[in-house]
Amino acid sequence: MTGTLAAIGAGLAVLGIALGIGRIGGQAMDAIARQPEASSKIQTAMIIAAALIEGAGLFGLVIAFLSIG
């Protein structure tokens, strides 16, 4: 039962990562389309936000897999 719950937790973490980074990418493309001159600032903020989301998601994956043992 613990392995099943860990797999569900890992799946939810990956789903959250994908949704978060996808939303950031889409919103950044919209912002760049509206203001092309601000593209470097938007890209920098997008990369930082994506890295933070990925870090939090990977932490969730580690916790899910550590709960197996």
Residues 35-65 have pLDDT tens digits of 999 999 999 999 999 999 999 989 988 888 8
CA distances from 9 to 26, 30, 43, 48, 55 (A): 26, 32, 30, 25, 16
Q: Is the pLDDT of residue 69 over 70?
A: no
Domain count across the chain: 1
CATH code of the domain in which 11 resides? 1.20.20.10
Domain region containing 18: 2-66
Encoded amino acid at 2, one letter? T
Rounded Cα–Cα distance for residues 48 and 6 (Å): 28
Distant-in-sequence, close-in-space partners of 17: CB < 8 Å, separation ≥ 6: 53, 54, 57, 58
At 48, list the tokens.
């930082």
